[in-house]
A = this chain, B = another copy of it.
Amino acid sequence: MVLGSGNVATHLARALDKDHHVVQVYSRDKTHAALLSEKLTGCEATDKLDRIYTDADIYIISVSDDAIRYIVASMPEVKGMVVHTSGSVGLEVLEGIGGSTGVFYPLQTFSKDIQVDIHNVPFFLEASDEQGMQKMESVASGLSNKIYHADSEQRLTLHIGAVFACNFLNHLLDISSEILTKKGYSLEVLAPLIEVTISKALESGAHESQTGPAVRGDINTIHKHMESLHSMEREIYHILSQSIIDRYKIQKRI
């Protein structure tokens, strides 16, 4: 049973549908529940929490972080295991539930219109007991080749790592794109370079793959670049260059 009809719920439900029977989809919006359930084999839709089936094997709560608490408080007592899919919410939020509980966290950014290869999505699992973990592992291993365990503290670490490697990384691409656009280029001209940078970092390690003026200790170029930048972009250029210089123990100051 899937509770939720957002991006994560949709991708999970459709992937689960291949090997498992998703009996019911709940959403507070009946149209959303119906849209998702129609795509699944023999699946019903409901917008009434007190009408959900109580004998499903596993209940996957996949809603916004704040809404998890509300669902837990309002759902009836059920026989199956109850899990949520959030990276930032602890297992404790499910404490009111009688039986096994767990966290079933797929580390990927999902958009409804972009196809994601679920086999490559890493799943991070936590369970209240060994039996619950076995059930989650059996479900997860049908979806993905990458199954890990992670408690709340480890999920926090993963989330922080993802903020640097994805959210901040995207922001740097945004800044770069703006700088290029002003001179009539698009970020597209850097695409081959970006792709090689990512491959090298993942294959040989980011620390070993660092290139550029800062790691060369080329203060002249750093100054020349900073002269043509302003406000926030200049500060970011400064701190990231200094951070590289410090990390590689280059005895220079910008």
Contact = CB atoms under 8 A, between A and B. Distances in A.
Interface of A: 88, 107-109, 111, 114, 116-117, 120-122, 146, 148, 153-154, 156-180, 182-185, 187-198, 200-202, 205-207, 209-215, 221, 224-225, 228-229, 232, 235-237, 239-240, 242-244, 246-247
Classify the secondary structure of A's interface with B: helix
A167 B211 contact: yes
A206 B122 contact: no
Nearest to A242: B232
Contact of A239 (B165, B180, B194, B236): B236
B236 A240 contact: yes
6 contacts: A158-B190, A161-B179, A161-B190, A163-B225, A168-B172, A198-B198
Contacts of A235: 239
A225 B213 CA distance: 30
B167 A169 contact: no
A210 B177 CA distance: 13
Given A189-B107, A202-B191, A236-B240, A165 B161 contact: no
Contacts of A207: 174, 177-178
B174 A210 contact: yes
Contact of A157 (B146, B161, B162, B182): B182
B109 A170 contact: no
A166 B107 CA distance: 24
A191 B108 CA distance: 10
A145 to B, nearest CB: 11
Top 5 nearest A-B pairs (CB, nearest first) are: A167-B212, A165-B176, A174-B206, A173-B206, A164-B176
